[in-house]
Structure 1
Amino acid sequence: MSRTTADVRRRGLRPAGHTVLRGGRASFLVHRRTVVVAAVLAVLLACAVVAYLCVGESFVPPTEVVRVLLGRPSADELVVGTLRLPRLVVGLLAGAAFGVAGALVQTVARNPLASPDVIGVTHGAGAATVAALSFNAVAQDTLPYVSVAGGLAAALLVYLFAWRGRLRSSRFVLVGIGVSVALGSLTQLLLTKGDYLVAQQAKVWLTGSLNGRGYEEAGPLALVLLIGVPAALWAARAQRSASFDDDTATALGVPLDRVRLGLTVLGVVLASVATGAAGPVDFVALLAPQIARRLTRTAQTPLLSSALTGALVVVVADLLARRLFSPIELPVGVLTAAVGAPYLMWLIVRTRSRSGGTSS
Structure 2
Amino acid sequence: MTPRWLKAEFKKQGATAVVARTPGMGMAHYEKEPVEPPAGYWRWGEHRGDGYSILLEQRAVWVNSGLAVVLLLACIAYLSLGTVTLDPRDVVQALAGQGDMMTGFMVQELRLPRLVAACLTGGAFALAGILMQTLARNRLATPGIIGIDNGATAFAVASVVGMSVSLAPSAMALTGAATAAVITFGLAAGSGTQGYRFIVAGIGVGAIFGAITQLMLARVAIDTANAAYPWTVGSLNARSGGSVQLLGIGLALGFVAALVLARSLTVLRFSDATASGLGINTTVRRIQILLLSVALTALAVAVAGPVGMVGLIGPEIARALSTPRHVPVVAATLAGALVMVLADLAGRTLLSPIELPVGIVTAIIGGPWLLWILMRPKRSHA
Write the mapping of 1:32-111 to structure 2, written as runs, cut at 5 A.
Answer: 32-75=58-101, 76-111=103-138
Counterpart selection for 1:133 from 160, 178, 187: 160
Give me the whole-angstrom Cα distance separating, in 2, the residues matched to 1:56 and 1:86.
Answer: 15
Structure 1 counterpart of 2:185:
159
What amino acid does structure 1 have at the position aligned with 2:190?
A: R
Secondary structure at the residue paired with 2:56?
A: strand
Which residue does the alignment assign to 2:267? 241
8 Å CA contact 2:40–2:58 kept in 1: the answer is yes
Q: Distance in 2 between matches of 1:240 and 1:276?
A: 30
TM-superposition CA deviations, 1:26-72 (whole Å, max 9, x none): 32221111110111111111111111111111111112211121123
Q: What letter is aligned with 1:114?
A: A
Q: Report the CA distance shift for 1:56/1:157 in structure 2 as closer, same or farther (over 3 A).
A: same
User: Which residue, 300, 304, 318 being the options, matches 1:274?
Assistant: 300
Summarize deviations over 1:221-258 as a string: whole Å, max 9, x none. Answer: 11112233431221222212221212323444421111
Could you tell me how far 1:4 is from its partner in structure 2?
11
CA contact under 8 A between 2:13 and 2:53: conserved in structure 1? Answer: no
Match of 1:115 in 2: 142
| Corresponding residue for residue 5 of structure 2 | none
- 1:17 corresponds to: 40
1:198 is the counterpart of 2:224: yes
The 3 A distance-change label for structure 1 pair 297 and 251 is closer
Distance 1:26 1:228, change over 3 A: farther
The answer to whether structure 1 residue 317 and structure 2 residue 343 are counterparts is yes
Q: State whether residues 317 and 332 of structure 1, in contact with CA within 8 Å, keep that contact through their aligned partners in structure 2.
A: yes
More strand by share: 2
Give distance in 1, aligned partners of 2:257 and 2:222: 42
Which structure has more helix as a fraction of its residues?
A: 1
Corresponding position of 1:358: none
* Aligned counterparts of 1:235 and 1:129: Cα–Cα separation in 2: 29
Q: Where does residue 297 of structure 1 map in the other structure?
A: 323
Q: Which has the higher contact order (CA 8 A, sep 6+)?
A: 1
Give aligned pairs, total. 351
Worse overlay, 337-346 or 153-162? 153-162
User: Relative to 1, partners in 2 of residues 1:7 and 1:327: Cα closer, same or farther, differing over 3 Å?
Assistant: closer
Aligned equivalents of 1:74, 1:216: Cα separation in 2: 29
Deviations 1:298-357 (A, max 9, x none): 243311111110111010111110010111110011110000011101101111x669xx
SS of residue in 1 equivalent to 2:261: helix
How do residues 197-216 of structure 1 correspond to structure 2 at under 5 angstroms?
Answer: 197-213=223-239, 215-216=241-242
Name the stretch that deviates more: 312-321 or 215-224: 215-224
> For the aligned residues, what is the CA RMSD?
2.3
1:99-141, Cα deviation, whole Å (9 max, x unpaired): 111111111011011111011111110110122223x135233
Q: 1:349 to 1:198 in 2, by over 3 A?
A: same
| Structure 1 Cα separation of the partners of residues 185 and 82 of structure 2 | 44
- State how far apart, in whole Å, the 2-side matches of 1:69 and 1:326 are: 24
**Are the aligned partners of 2:156 and 2:231 in contact in 1 as well (CA < 8 Å)?**
no
- Consecutive unaligned residues of structure 1, counting only runs of 5 or more, are 356-360
2:55 partner SS: strand
Shift of 1:279: 1.1
Q: How far apart in 1 are the matches of 2:312 and 2:94?
A: 34
Identify if the C-alpha distance between structure 1 residues 166 and 52 changes in structure 2 by more than 3 Å, giving closer, same or farther.
Answer: closer
1:189 and 1:322 mapped to 2: Cα distance? 29
CA distance in 1: counterparts of 2:38 and 2:108, whole angstroms: 47
CA distance in 2, matches of 1:109, 1:43: 31
Write out per-residue CA displacement over residues 159-191 of structure 1, whole angstroms, 9 at most, x where no aligned residue: 222233854343322221221122112222222
Distance 1:15 1:68, change over 3 A: same
1:230 aligns with 2:253: no
Cα distance in 2 between the residues matched to 1:309 and 1:227: 19
What amino acid is aligned across from residue 55 of structure 2 in structure 1? Answer: L
- Structure 2, gaps ≥5 residues long: 1-8, 17-33
TM-score (structure 1 length as normaliser) = 0.90
